[in-house]
């Protein structure tokens, strides 16, 4: 900007690789480990299963994994928002069932069916209203979110039973809805998606660095820039290469990617998102800064219910039906576990939207790996339980590290 | 006659149930002046601050800002006027960086509604520099990692960043060591030099004598009087705090009188 700021501060520069590494190591030491554990965990899980069964990393298995983890990832994205404000939502499983059953019911081709856009709209509105009710009870009445959402978990389960009808199963026949989880993109489109994703990522990194330099601040090193873009390219092109060897990139994978980027941008680059983190970090501090704490909390509950219904839609699409147990089973537990395994803190204020996808990947990897090895469900539950316990312990221990590193 | 005070309270009274926390308290704060608000535990210091900042509704009395009566309904309204309060517990968000804390609730965005992170960081760094806060290595580190003095500096810098005219500090040095107390005292002096009016609550008269221009002594919710630093002594202030003459006998209309003996 102006030459005065430039001359009064040290010459703005990119960090060297060494400086960048030092910053990173200092952060990790202080307990800011971010996604490190979950990424290491994923690598470990991959190696363990691949060694025992080389079909684990096969094109077909990986493509299936994307479709299978998608509903959990969608629901878990919303769970991250409530965890960020230090609350919980136990109704997301039931809410996904309610969303699915509403959509399926409205689309039954009995002459009264409505357009799929309208059906999705109705489910979305119901979900947002339910989230608003959660938020109202929590903020205005002061009822713990654990109890409020436990109550609506029961109610939602009842609503699903009621709406699923006599047969207890509604077949989904709408081609658009079925298409969501059952469409695979052509090879060319898959590559285009990968190229655009990497390009957008690189541009956003570059713009951030340039803004920093323009303000006389130091920017990350070129090595860090190159490293991040290379990693993104490996993930994006690798995924497309593998899925193209099977049926192609699943459409639902692309929808998930776009959804996560949108929520990530809202959480990390907007005022609203900053205020969510502030409320989770110190609600009283946020209030004194003039933030409407109740409004932020209510919004987060709305997002959680909305994303739960979204997950219900994807599940209905994948199964091509909704039955009276929709949203039950271990869907709720998996969705909350995914957020926590991904690294979102249960204590509020710490976590990233991407944690939902990372955690869902871990859960999908464990399930698919054990499926390949022919392990029964009992062991799946036990192993998932251990992983969850490990993730929560990492959260608790690093939280202590952060506390002791402060107030030197 | 002296100039119009920046901030003034006239006859502020506040009851909590049977406790008369404040009784007809008058306070005057001029631009560029540091007022030390002193009194024993429970004398009503924090309550007075909260009444000014709109955290409590007062039973009686008026607050005047730049000579005009104002009603302050909350933290937002107070900062819109140019009054900032740094409470004892600071209420910083540990999970956010120094910059993010300083801009909390007033973030700058670009035309797409996205946060202008770099601009805010430069401004935060400049504010820190202008206040000569040199103990902070970077404004992009998390507040959780700062020492008590650094946290206090962040909270004060946050308060003065917004063209505020009056800053109220509730026990800013209570938890600090010698060197860190020094930093904060210097910071307070610099604020006054910049033309801000500062109210400092503290139990440490020694520290206060170094930075204030006048003392306002509260006792059992009542103002014992205002003392100019150059015309008073620590002893006189201590006497006022512990045994100052009350104009109104508390407990006349409640059973408080037992506490008096
Ligand atoms: N929210 C409240 N509800 C009821 N009583 C209160 C409340 N806040 C303060 N009080 C009472 O008002 C009186 C004044 O309290 P205040 O906190 O203003 O004292 P203080 O001068 O700040 O004391 P300290 O030096 O201990 O901070 C005390 O008797 C206190 O118990
Ligand atoms: Mg107090």
A400 vs A337, which has greater pLDDT? A337
pLDDT value of position A20? 75
3-state secondary structure A21-67: HHHHHHHHHCCCCCCHHHHHHHHHHHHHHHHHCCCCCCHHHHHHHHH
pLDDT value of position A398? 76
Enumerate the residues of chain B whose CB falls inside 8 A of the CB of residue A278.
93, 96, 100, 104-105
The model's pLDDT over A256-304, given as tens digits with 9 standing for 90+, comes to 999 999 999 999 999 999 999 999 999 999 998 889 999 999 999 999 9
Name the residue at shortest CA distance from atom 18 of ligand 1.
B44
Name the residue at shortest CA distance from atom 6 of ligand 1.
B16
Contact between residue B229 and residue B205 where contact means Cβ atoms under 8 Å apart? no
Contact between residue B104 and residue A289 where contact means Cβ atoms under 8 Å apart? yes
Instruction: Report the residue count for chain A.
Output: 408
| Structural domains present in chain A | 54-183+250-405 (1.10.3470)
- Cβ separation A288–B96 shorter than 8 A: no
Question: For residue B44, which atom of ligand 1 is closest to its CA?
Answer: 18
Interface A–B counts its CB contacts (< 8 A) at: 107
Name the residue at shortest CA distance from atom 24 of ligand 1.
B41
Alpha carbons A329 and A97: distance in angstroms, whole number: 11
The model's pLDDT over A321-350, given as tens digits with 9 standing for 90+, comes to 999 999 988 899 999 999 998 989 888 999
pLDDT grade for A9, boundaries at 50, 70 and 90: very low
Indicate the pTM of the whole model.
Answer: 0.88
The model's pLDDT over A178-228, given as tens digits with 9 standing for 90+, comes to 999 999 999 999 999 999 999 999 999 999 999 989 888 888 888 889 999
**Residue B202 Cα to ligand 1 middle (Å):** 15
Enumerate the residues of chain B whose CB falls inside 8 A of the CB of residue A346.
none
pLDDT value of position A307? 98
Q: Give the lowest-confidence range in A7-16, A249-258, A273-282, B112-121.
A: A7-16
**Pure H helices in B33-177:** 45-52, 75-81, 98-102, 117-130, 148-160
The residues with which A170 forms a beta bridge, in sequence order, are A322
* Among chain A residues, CA nearest to B123: A215
The model's pLDDT over A343-377, given as tens digits with 9 standing for 90+, comes to 898 889 999 999 999 999 999 998 889 888 888 87
Q: State ipTM.
A: 0.86
Q: Is A170 helix (H, G, I), strand (E, B) or coil?
A: strand
**Pure H helices in A137-270:** 145-163, 175-182, 187-214, 222-245, 251-269
Name the residue at shortest CA distance from atom 3 of ligand 1.
B16
Question: For residue B218, which atom of ligand 1 is closest to its CA?
Answer: 21
Contact between residue A158 and residue A328 where contact means Cβ atoms under 8 Å apart? no
Q: Between B107, B121, B145, which is nearest A405 by CB?
A: B145
Indicate the domain borders of chain B. 7-94+159-260
B210 vs B134, which has greater pLDDT? B210
Question: For residue B42, which atom of ligand 1 is closest to its CA?
Answer: 19
* Among chain B residues, CA nearest to A209: B118
* Among chain B residues, CA nearest to A270: B114
% residues pLDDT > 70 (chain B): 94
Cα-Cα-Cα-Cα dihedral of A293, A299, A300, A304, to 10°?
A: 160
- Cβ separation A270–B117 shorter than 8 A: no
The model's pLDDT over A12-61, given as tens digits with 9 standing for 90+, comes to 577 777 777 777 777 777 666 667 788 888 899 999 999 999 899 899 99
pLDDT grade for A8, boundaries at 50, 70 and 90: very low
pLDDT for B35 beyond 70: yes
Average pLDDT (B223-251) is 84
**Residue B78 Cα to ligand 1 middle (Å):** 21
Q: What's domain B7-94+159-260's architecture? A: 3-Layer(aba) Sandwich (3.40)
The model's pLDDT over A102-161, given as tens digits with 9 standing for 90+, comes to 999 999 988 888 999 999 999 999 999 999 999 999 999 999 999 999 999 999 999 999
pLDDT for B1 beyond 60: no
Enumerate the residues of chain B whose CB falls inside 8 A of the CB of residue A291.
104-105
Q: What is the DSSP letter of A140?
A: I
Residue from A194, A153, A167, A142 nearest A332 by CA: A153
Helix (H) or strand (E) holding B86: strand B83-86
pLDDT value of position A243? 95
- CA A220-A238-A200 angle, to 5 degrees, is 45
Q: What is the DSSP letter of A250?
A: B
User: Residue B248 region, left (φ>0) first, then alpha (ψ -120 to 50), else beta?
Assistant: beta
| The token pair that represents B191 in the structure block | 């604020």
The model's pLDDT over B14-28, given as tens digits with 9 standing for 90+, comes to 999 989 999 999 999
pLDDT value of position B252? 52
**Residue B57 Cα to ligand 1 middle (Å):** 14
Those residues whose C-beta lies under 8 Å from the C-beta of residue A170, and which sit 6 or more positions away, are A101, A104, A105, A108, A164, A321, A322, A323
Q: Is B45 in the pocket of ligand 1 (CB under 6 A)?
A: yes
């Amino acid at each position: 900007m102006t030459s005065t700021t430039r001359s009064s501060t040290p010459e703005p520069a990119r960090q060297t690789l060494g400086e960048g590494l030092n910053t990173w190591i200092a952060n990790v030491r202080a307990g800011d480990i971010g996604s490190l554990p979950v990424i290491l965990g994923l690598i470990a899980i991959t190696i363990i299963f691949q060694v025992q069964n080389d079909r684990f990393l096969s094109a077909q298995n990986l493509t299936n994994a994307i479709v299978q983890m998608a509903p959990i990832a969608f629901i878990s994205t919303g769970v991250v928002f409530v965890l960020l404000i230090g609350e919980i939502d136990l109704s997301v499983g039931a809410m996904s069932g309610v969303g699915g059953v509403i959509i399926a019911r409205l689309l039954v081709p009995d002459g009264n069916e409505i357009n799929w856009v309208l059906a999705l709209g109705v489910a979305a509105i119901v979900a947002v209203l339910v989230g608003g009710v959660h938020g109202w009870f929590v903020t205005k009445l002061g009822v713990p979110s654990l109890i409020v959402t436990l109550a609506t978990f029961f109610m939602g389960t009842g609503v699903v039973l009621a709406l699923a009808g006599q047969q207890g199963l509604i077949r989904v026949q709408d081609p658009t809805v079925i298409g969501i989880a059952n469409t695979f993109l052509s090879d060319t489109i898959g590559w285009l998606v990968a190229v655009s994703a990497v390009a957008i990522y690189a541009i956003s990194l570059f713009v951030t660095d340039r803004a920093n330099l323009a303000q006389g601040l130091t920017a990350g090193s070129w090595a860090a820039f190159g490293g991040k873009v290379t990693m993104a390219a490996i993930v994006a092109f690798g995924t497309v290469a593998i899925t193209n060897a099977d049926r192609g990139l699943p459409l639902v994978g692309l929808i998930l990617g776009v959804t996560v980027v949108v929520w990530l941008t809202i959480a990390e680059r907007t005022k609203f998102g900053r205020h969510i983190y502030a409320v989770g970090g110190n609600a009283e501090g946020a209030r004194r800064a003039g933030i409407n704490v109740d409004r932020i909390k209510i919004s987060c509950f709305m997002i959680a219910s909305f994303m739960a219904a979204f997950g219900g839609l994807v599940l209905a699409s994948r199964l091509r039906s909704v039955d009276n147990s929709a949203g039950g089973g271990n869907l709720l537990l998996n969705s909350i576990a995914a957020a926590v395994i991904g690294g979102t803190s249960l204590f509020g204020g710490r976590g990233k939207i991407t944690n939902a996808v990372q955690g869902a990947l871990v859960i999908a990897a464990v399930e698919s790996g054990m499926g390949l090895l022919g392990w029964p469900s009992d062991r799946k539950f036990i192993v998932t339980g251990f992983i969850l316990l490990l993730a929560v312990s990492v959260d608790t221990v690093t939280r202590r590290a952060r506390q002791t590193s402060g107030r030197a | 006659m002296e100039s119009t005070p920046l901030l003034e309270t006239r006859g502020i009274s506040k009851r909590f149930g049977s406790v008369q926390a404040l009784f007809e308290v008058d306070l005057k704060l001029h631009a560029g002046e540091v007022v030390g608000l002193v009194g024993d535990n429970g004398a009503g210091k924090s309550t007075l601050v909260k009444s000014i900042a709109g955290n409590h509704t007062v039973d009686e009395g008026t607050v005047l800002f730049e000579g005009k009566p104002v009603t302050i309904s909350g933290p937002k309204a107070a900062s819109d006027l140019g009054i900032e309060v740094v409470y004892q517990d600071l209420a910083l968000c540990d999970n956010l960086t120094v910059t993010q804390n300083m801009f909390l609730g007033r973030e700058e965005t670009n035309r797409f509604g996205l946060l202008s992170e770099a601009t805010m960081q430069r401004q935060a760094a400049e504010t820190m520099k202008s206040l000569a806060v040199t103990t902070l290595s970077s404004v992009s580190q998390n507040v959780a990692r700062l020492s008590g003095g650094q946290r206090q500096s962040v909270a004060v810098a946050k308060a003065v960043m917004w063209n505020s005219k009056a800053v109220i500090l509730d026990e800013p040095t209570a938890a600090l060591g010698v060197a860190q107390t020094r930093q904060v005292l210097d910071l307070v002096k610099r604020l006054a030099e910049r033309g801000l009016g500062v109210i400092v609550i503290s139990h440490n008269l020694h520290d206060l004598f170094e930075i204030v221009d006048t003392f306002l002594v509260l006792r059992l919710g009542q103002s014992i009087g205002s003392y100019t630093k150059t015309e008073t002594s620590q002893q006189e202030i201590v006497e006022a705090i512990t045994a100052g003459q009350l104009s109104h006998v508390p407990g006349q209309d409640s059973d408080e009188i037992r506490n008096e003996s």
